[in-house]
Amino acid sequence: MDALRNWVEQMSPRERVMVGAAAALLVLAIVYLAGFRPLLISAERNAAEVAEQQELLDELTQLAARRGPQRGAAAGAGGGGQSLVLVVDRTTRDKGLGGYLKRNQPDGADAIRLRFEDAPFDNLLSWLVEMQTNYGVGAISANIDTSRSPGRVNCNLVLSRAAG
C-alpha cells in the first residue's frame, strides 16, 4: 500500500486526474460486467421465453377453438360444476323450452331423463347442440315423435355428461 501511495505522490496533478478517471472507468466496467450485464441478459432471455410461451398458448387456443369442447368436459365452460338438473333447468328456460319440459328426473350423478311435450323442434335441436358444445352433455337415447302441431314434437331424452 505504501508503494502505491508513493507512486501516486510522484505523479503530476494531471497524471493523478488521468489515473483517477481510469480507475473510475475500471470500477464502472466491473460493476456493469459483474452486475448489470447478467441481469440484462437474463431479462432478454426471459422476454424471449415469455414470447415463445405466448406463441405456444396462441397455437393451443387456436387448436382448441378448431376442435371444440371435448368429451367428458365436466360441466363445460358455462357449467361451473353445477348439477346437471340445474344446468338443464336454466338452459331450457333460456331457450324458451321451460314450459314444454314436463319431466326432469336425475338418473345417477351424470345423467338425466327428460320429457318434452309439444316442444318446438328447432328450439329443442338448438338446445341439444348448446348442451353438447357448452356443457359436454350429450344424448344417450332419444325418442322423438311428432305432435299434433306442425314443427312440434314430443320427446323423451336421456342426457349424460359422459356422452358425446
**127 against 83, higher pLDDT:** 127
Q: How high is the pLDDT of residue 116?
A: 95
pLDDT at 163 over 70: no
What would the mean pLDDT of 29-56 be, rounded to a whole number? 90
**CA dist., res. 42 & res. 61, Å (int):** 28
Share of the chain above pLDDT 70, in %: 89
The three three-digit cell numbers of residue 82, written as one number: 353445477
Q: How high is the pLDDT of residue 107?
A: 86
pLDDT at 71 over 60: no
